[in-house]
Structure 1
Amino acid sequence: MSHVQFATRDASPWVPHYIMAIDQAKCIGCGRCFKVCGQGVLKLMGVNEDDELVDPFDEEQEIERKVMTIDAAGNCIGCAACVRVCAPRCHTYAPADAA
């Protein structure tokens, strides 16, 4: 099995860190990470009184709060833009060779 090497534009070694999980207990649902992700990895969801994830834009649903979820993990390119804007630091990452 060959090891994939990643590099920046100037050929400096670089290891992408892919998003693995979001701690919904820490997430405040601000949407900052969603806004900076150009790859469509994340999705904002509502949490109802039964702690179930529901569509936050469905007017028939009563939501207690909003949280971010991982919608398309395979789209993550490992740029970590989301972690740089996350004040509560609720994202978990793994390096490309461990993901």
Structure 2
Amino acid sequence: MPRFERLTIEEARTLSRDQLLDRIEVEQRYWYRLMDSGTLRVGEDEAYRTFTRIMHAAIDSGRAVSDTLALLNGECVSEEYWTRPLGELGDL
């Protein structure tokens, strides 16, 4: 697996959900691998908290449900949720 750079709050604020999802998936695998193998190092808790804050801001399950229901009912859904940076939307 190629090395990745951890997401920061500042960077995540400049990226849209479209841009963040792949990065979140890669970083999530990194953290879960560390936890599963018991190799999580002392002091990494703050970096993990930062990651989970970004992940929860970017992945809003309530929004996914409401958008899906709207689409099923033939209603319009705003694309800016996926295309505008989280910082512009005030989500992070």
TM-score, length-scaled by structure 1: 0.24
**Which is strand-richer, 1 or 2?**
1
**Which is helix-richer, 1 or 2?**
2
Higher relative contact order (CA 8 A, sep 6+): 2
